[in-house]
Amino acid sequence: MIDTHALAEKPVLEGERIRLVPLADRHAAAFHATFQDPETRRLTGTHRDWTLPELQEWVTACGTRTDWLDLAVEDRATGAYLGDLALSQIDPDNAHGSFRIALVPAATGRGLGPEAIRLLLGHAFDKVGLHRVELEVFAFNERARRSYEKCGFVMEGRMREALRWDGAWHDVLMMAALRPAAATAQ
């Protein structure tokens, strides 16, 4: 059963090396800086140039949204901003939602992404009550695809030439993770 109030409550999820906390005003400058990085923009397909005031407005609104869960990824030891992730587009009738993640360049390649993904999936399945969480990843982003697979995502399809980047067309892969069978039996 979907808990329609679960996205209104903004949890703090503790991992071994990271903490997921509600995306807040204190993260806005780092959030903005992340999307100034050309490689982050390419990996996320971000064409739009967001201004800091626009992102500050977005971050402020995150705390009040009841249909979307946006969390900052922080280093547990230092509190440093490492990125963000979101659970959105919740379909309560079919118990599924969409997922995205973006880490700062310095946080990639250290296993922090899978740790963050597992924490959010646990929350999505156990607290929100979702059965399915889906995502899209660009075919050229092999590192992300491998991370998603480590966390239980399976490739389900391909949207051919759905992203145009630097004058070239790229495929978008569709992946999903299902609620573990043990949790479904409860």
Ordered per-residue pLDDT tens for the chain, 186 residues: 787 677 888 999 999 999 999 999 999 999 899 888 888 888 888 888 889 999 899 888 888 888 889 999 999 999 999 999 999 999 999 999 999 999 999 999 899 999 999 999 999 999 999 999 999 999 999 999 999 999 999 999 999 999 999 999 999 999 999 998 654 444
- Residue 141 belongs to a domain: yes
Q: Give residue 79's domain range.
A: 13-184
- Residue 52 belongs to a domain: yes
- Residue 153 belongs to a domain: yes
- Residue 8 belongs to a domain: no
Domain of 147, CATH number, reads 3.40.630.30
Its pTM surpasses 0.75: yes
CA 84 – CA 61 distance, rounded (Å): 15
- Residue 125 belongs to a domain: yes
- Residue 2 belongs to a domain: no
- Residue 171 belongs to a domain: yes
If one counts the domains in the chain, the total is 1
Q: Torsions phi, psi of 161, nearest 5? A: 45, 50
- Residue 6 belongs to a domain: no
What sign for the dihedral angle of Cα 180, 118, 110, 163? positive
Q: What angle do CA 103, 131, 1 make, to 5 degrees?
A: 120
